[in-house]
Amino acid sequence: MAVIISKPNKGPARAGVLAAGNWIVDEVKIIDTYPTVEKLANIQSQTLGTGGAPYNVLVDLSRLGATFPLSAAGLVGADARGESILTECRELKIDTRFLKTTNKAPTSYTDVMTESGNGRRTFFHYRGANALWDGSDIDLSKSKAKLLHLGYLLLLDALDQPDKKYGTRGAALLAKAQDAGFKTSVDVVTEDSDRYAKFVAPALKYTDYLIVNEHEAGRISGFKIRQADGALDTVSLRHAAGALLQMGIRELVVIHFPEGAFARTRKGEDVWQSSLKVPQKHIAGSAGAGDAFAAGVLMGLHEGWELAKCLQTAVCVAAASLSEPGCTAGVKPLATCLALAKKYGTRASLEPSD
């Protein structure tokens, strides 16, 4: 049976995606090897690119050819990096009325060290202006967007601060958005810490759609989704999705991983999707693949597609993103991304036989 996520929003008809949170300039450096301490690695090439959930997702949606409005919210510094972000948004017709500039901190940036032989990435991140943004400058009554996509929790210092009523300021922003008629979507940053329960869990009660990778899902839910040999534990994966829904998510959990993706709805319906078999020689870097996946899911949710089509689209967009070292440069128009499924084929089915 087809699974369609299509509950109506409050109030008049709404359209568009408002993406909020981390605005980052990625300085992507291709290196020959990742060095041990006090050893040398050679930088083979360097490019500037987009970084952060809202920046990546909105640029991806624009490159896919989204016909609905796109708008940005967050904080950048009054500097060259900040101006480059604002300029690109204007060129892509992304509304920047909620993307503010500050003199109190520089624009956030990340040095992304990408190994040329395997595409593995190591991140050196400067939080900058993102650390100051708490969402209080968004007048949600002035937006008619259908979806608010917020990311990354755990990487927005002011938004991760406590709130007496909602638990965190991030949860308070999501609650406010739902009350204003938005569907809310959340992504979190990948880190090895015990902060997930304190800073992410409170937000789940005000989240309609959670889109995370298997590491993040495991950290939030308490389930170990990878076996000792690195293999995906599909039983634990399903338990994690169920636990996340029990923590308050209203409609849908989507968990993505290199092998594919899994989604579970509030009604208990499961959808599996294998990833594409992209040859190693066509992988320039995996930076931004998670946000590319999220963009595919959000496009489908906005347009009311069946959940299976949302996931199929998402793995194709993620595969396209692998072709360039930056986060968004590899994403092409939707039809071009979808054609990759035929070009590369998909991995073996992940769906358990039970």
Could you tell me if residue 126 is left (phi over 0), alpha (psi between -120 and 50 degrees) or otherwise beta? beta
pLDDT for res 12: 62
pLDDT of residue 284: 84
pLDDT score for 103: 98
Q: Residue 47 falls within a domain, yes or no?
A: yes
* pTM of the predicted model over 0.85: yes
In the numeric block, which tokens belong to residue 208? 């309609």
Segments forming the whole domain that contains residue 226: 19-344
Instruction: Give the pLDDT of the chain (354 residues) as one tens digit per residue.
Output: 466 565 545 556 899 999 999 999 999 899 999 999 999 999 999 988 999 999 999 999 999 999 999 999 999 999 999 999 999 999 999 999 999 999 999 999 999 898 988 878 888 999 999 999 999 999 999 999 999 999 999 999 999 999 999 999 999 999 999 999 999 999 999 998 999 999 999 999 999 999 999 999 999 999 999 999 999 999 999 999 999 999 999 999 999 999 999 999 999 999 999 999 999 999 888 889 999 999 999 999 999 999 999 999 999 999 999 999 889 999 999 999 999 999 999 999 988 866
User: Would residue 13 count as lying in a domain?
Assistant: no
9 in a structural domain: no
* Three-state DSSP class for residue 71: strand
Q: Residue 334: which residues within 8 A CB-CB, separation 6 or more?
A: 64, 65, 299, 313
3-class DSSP assignment, residue 222: coil
pLDDT in tens, 309-338: 999 999 999 999 999 988 999 999 999 999
- pLDDT computed for residue 351 by the predictor: 84
The CB density around residue 354, as the number of other CB atoms within 10 Å, is 5
With 0-12 CB in 10 A as exposed, 13-18 as middle and 19+ as buried, what is 12? Answer: exposed
Phi/psi at 178 (nearest 5 deg)?
A: -60, -40
- Model confidence over 63-94: pLDDT tens digits? 999 999 999 999 999 999 999 999 999 999 99
The pLDDT of residue 153 is: 98
Does 54 map to a domain? yes
Residue 7 included in any domain: no
Compute φ and ψ for 148, nearest 5 degrees.
-110, 115
Query: Is 349 within the bounds of a domain?
Result: no
In the 8-state DSSP scheme, what is residue 106?
A: P
* Residue 104 covered by a domain: yes
Domain with residue 90: its CATH number is 3.40.1190.20
What is the number of structural domains in the chain?
1
Cα separation, 326 vs 322, in Å, equals 8
* Residue 2 covered by a domain: no
